[in-house]
Amino acid sequence: MKNYNLLIEHQCPQCGAPATLTETDRLFSCEFCRVRSYLMPGDHFRYCLPSRAPAGKSVFYVPYWRFKGMLFSCVSEGVRQRFVDISHQAVDNALFPHSLGFRSQTLKLQFASADSEAQFLPPEQSLAAVMRIFQTRFRLRLPQPVYHQAHVGENISMIYAPYYAESSLYDAVLNETTGRQPPAGFSETVAGCPRLDWQLRFLPTLCPKCGWDLEGQTDSLVLLCRNCASAWQPGRQRLHRTRFGHVATGNQEEVIFLPFWRIRADVDQVVLDSYFDLAKTANLPKVPREEWRDIPFRFWSPGFKIRPQTFLPLATKMTLTHPPDLVADQLPDGELYPVTLPLVSAVESLKVILANFIKPRKTHFPRLPDITIAAAGFRLIYVPFVRRHHDLTQPQFRFTILKNQLKLAKSL
Ligand SMILES: [Zn+2]
Ligand SMILES: [Zn+2]
């Protein structure tokens, strides 16, 4: 299995000791000074490819969007999925290659820094614009028409590639000329670029409420406080408290709790207020009961990375089953699997989940582009899965995940 995770050279913000991180690392524990800190990128991480430019060259960096995640496409026969790992220029300039190719996977990166002396070309294309280019490209290989496409991101970042200009344009990673001539006035334009306005921040991993040490694995997107039973997600500036709960289980021994995002959403053009509505919309093979009108409808989406072929059936199954017996605001006793897929990814998946259960497809798929789904509230729910030799099984909802898949997904 190819490892798609980028490696980043890093220095401990406390003692300066060097370390190598992978791009999924959020919780950094220094091997030397033992200080733990949480990496706060704000909107997304920004990395630089290493420059080998000789001293004295005016190095500048060209931004590339990097998207790693799942792409879902709704076609007549159902929902198609694939895993994608792509990069694309965030400027629109033919002087530079369209994508980074495999470079970002073979070189050790560094966090970009506002302290850098180099110039950074400002991004001119949004990630959404770049994703539209890719969606159009992937669309060509699908049966037509394609009613809806959604990308569910696991990792979105900006990678900067170094260059310098002399009589020709030099690729500073290789320290070789590209053979291309920068246009007249190019160096002046570059020199006029604003400085990078971004700095990775580090937060102490202490509970903002009670000061206790927060708990989490290196790749956790949610940190937990066992002292005051609270859960915390990084916002742009600080940790935000997150509502949570778990599905009760009698079997504590052999259980691991997997995290799911349970989302309340306003869906227009489809009546989906209650579990009664859901049974009708999904044409469930059971007669809707009147009391189901009192069970509010919620979407469920995995809070952990898993291959797209498993992600969608799992999300759909959980949504259709609406687990009862929720214990609110209490952490279960037992092992908790880390949250590795953020809430924003779960929100991106909602329309695809709807598309996966709505019946009949023939009537509803042509309407997909017009249906809007707005997330209105959420809760992080830990669901118990029984450990077996090769898999994890949820007996109540009859869903099995191969352990190997979870392991592989960590390196996705
Ligand atoms: Zn240190
Ligand atoms: Zn606390």
Q: Give 118-138 pLDDT, tens digit per residue.
A: 999 999 999 999 999 888 989
pLDDT band at 340 (very low <50, low <70, confident <90, very high): very high
| Cα–ligand 1 centroid distance for 40 (angstroms) | 17
In the chain, the amino acid numbered 236 is R
| Cα–ligand 2 centroid distance for 16 (angstroms) | 29
What is the bridge-based pairing of β-strands 78-89 and 60-75? Answer: antiparallel
DSSP string for residues in 2-29:
-----EEEEE-TTT--EEEEETT--EEE
Q: Report the interhelical angle of 308-321 vs 350-357 (nearest 10°).
A: 70
| Cα–ligand 2 centroid distance for 317 (angstroms) | 33
Is residue 3's pLDDT more than 60? no
| Cα–ligand 1 centroid distance for 203 (angstroms) | 14
| Cα–ligand 2 centroid distance for 250 (angstroms) | 26
Among all bound ligands, the one having the nearest atom to the CA of 239 is: 2
**Quick one: how far is CA 152 from the chain centroid?**
7
| Cα–ligand 1 centroid distance for 14 (angstroms) | 5
Among all bound ligands, the one having the nearest atom to the CA of 18 is: 1
Q: Specify the DSSP element, H or E, that contains 267.
A: strand 255-267
Among the ranges given (30-44, 57-71, 92-106, 200-214), the one the predictor scored with the smallest mean pLDDT:
92-106
Is residue 283's pLDDT more than 60? yes
Q: Which two tokens stand for residue 239?
A: 């940790």
Mean predicted confidence (pLDDT) in 314-340: 89
In the chain, the amino acid numbered 277 is D
| Cα–ligand 2 centroid distance for 213 (angstroms) | 8
Angle at the Cα of 257 from the Cα atoms of 6 and 224, rounded to 5 degrees: 70
CA distances from 378 to 258, 265, 298 (A): 16, 9, 9
pLDDT tens digit sequence for 171-199: 999 999 999 999 988 989 998 988 898 99
How confident is the model at residue 1, as a pLDDT? 37
Residues lining ion ligand 2 (Cβ < 5 A) are 207, 209-210, 212, 225, 227-228
Q: First and final CA of the chain: distance in angstroms?
A: 9
| Cα–ligand 2 centroid distance for 224 (angstroms) | 8
| Cα–ligand 2 centroid distance for 15 (angstroms) | 27
In the chain, the amino acid numbered 360 is P
pTM of the full structure: 0.93
Count Cβ atoms below 10 Å from residue 276 Cβ, excluding itself: 18
Among all bound ligands, the one having the nearest atom to the CA of 228 is: 2
How confident is the model at residue 299, as a pLDDT? 97
CB 355 within 8 A of CB 395: no
DSSP 334: S
| Cα–ligand 1 centroid distance for 19 (angstroms) | 9
How confident is the model at residue 209, as a pLDDT? 97
Among all bound ligands, the one having the nearest atom to the CA of 225 is: 2
Q: Rounded distance, CA 364 to CA 358, Å?
A: 7
Is residue 5's pLDDT more than 90? no
How confident is the model at residue 252, as a pLDDT? 64
| Cα–ligand 1 centroid distance for 10 (angstroms) | 11
SS3 of residue 394 by DSSP: strand
Residue whose tokens read 């990792």: 155
pLDDT averaged over the chain? 92
Q: Rounded distance, CA 182 to CA 170, Å?
A: 10
Q: Which two tokens stand for residue 182?
A: 């920068």
What are residue 123's DSSP bridge partners?
none
pLDDT tens digit sequence for 223-274: 999 999 999 998 888 999 999 999 988 776 789 999 999 999 999 999 999 9
Closest CA to 35 of 19, 51, 49: 19
CB 71 within 8 A of CB 121: no
Is residue 412's pLDDT more than 70? no
Counting residues of the chain whose pLDDT is more than 70, the rounded percentage is 98
pLDDT tens digit sequence for 293-314: 999 999 999 999 999 999 999 9
SS3 of residue 361 by DSSP: helix
For 186, residues 6+ apart whose C-beta sits below 8 A from its C-beta are: 165
Among all bound ligands, the one having the nearest atom to the CA of 31 is: 1
Q: Rounded distance, CA 316 to CA 356, Å?
A: 7
| Cα–ligand 1 centroid distance for 37 (angstroms) | 10
Q: Rounded distance, CA 141 to CA 139, Å?
A: 5
Exposed/middle/buried for residue 232 (C-beta within 10 Å: 0-12, 13-18, 19+): buried
How confident is the model at residue 4, as a pLDDT? 67
| Cα–ligand 1 centroid distance for 238 (angstroms) | 22
Beta strands in 121-254 (DSSP E): 146-165, 169-171, 176-177, 201-204, 223-225, 230-234, 239-242, 244-247
- Peptide linkage before 162 cis (omega within 30 of 0): no
| Cα–ligand 2 centroid distance for 122 (angstroms) | 40
Q: Specify the DSSP element, H or E, that contains 314.
A: helix 308-321
| Cα–ligand 2 centroid distance for 228 (angstroms) | 4
H helix runs in 82-230, sequence order: 103-106, 127-139, 186-191
| Cα–ligand 1 centroid distance for 340 (angstroms) | 25
Q: Rounded distance, CA 361 to CA 24, Å?
A: 37
* CA R_g for the chain: 23
CA distances from 40 to 46, 115, 217 (A): 11, 17, 15
| Cα–ligand 1 centroid distance for 240 (angstroms) | 26
What is the bridge-based pairing of β-strands 373-387 and 244-247? Answer: parallel
Is residue 20's pLDDT more than 50? yes
Among all bound ligands, the one having the nearest atom to the CA of 205 is: 2
Mean predicted confidence (pLDDT) in 273-282: 94
| Cα–ligand 2 centroid distance for 243 (angstroms) | 14
Mean predicted confidence (pLDDT) in 80-107: 90
In the chain, the amino acid numbered 383 is V
| Cα–ligand 2 centroid distance for 226 (angstroms) | 7
What are residue 62's DSSP bridge partners?
161
pLDDT tens digit sequence for 341-382: 999 999 999 999 999 999 999 999 999 999 999 999 999 999
| Cα–ligand 1 centroid distance for 204 (angstroms) | 13
Counting residues of the chain whose pLDDT is more than 90, the rounded percentage is 75
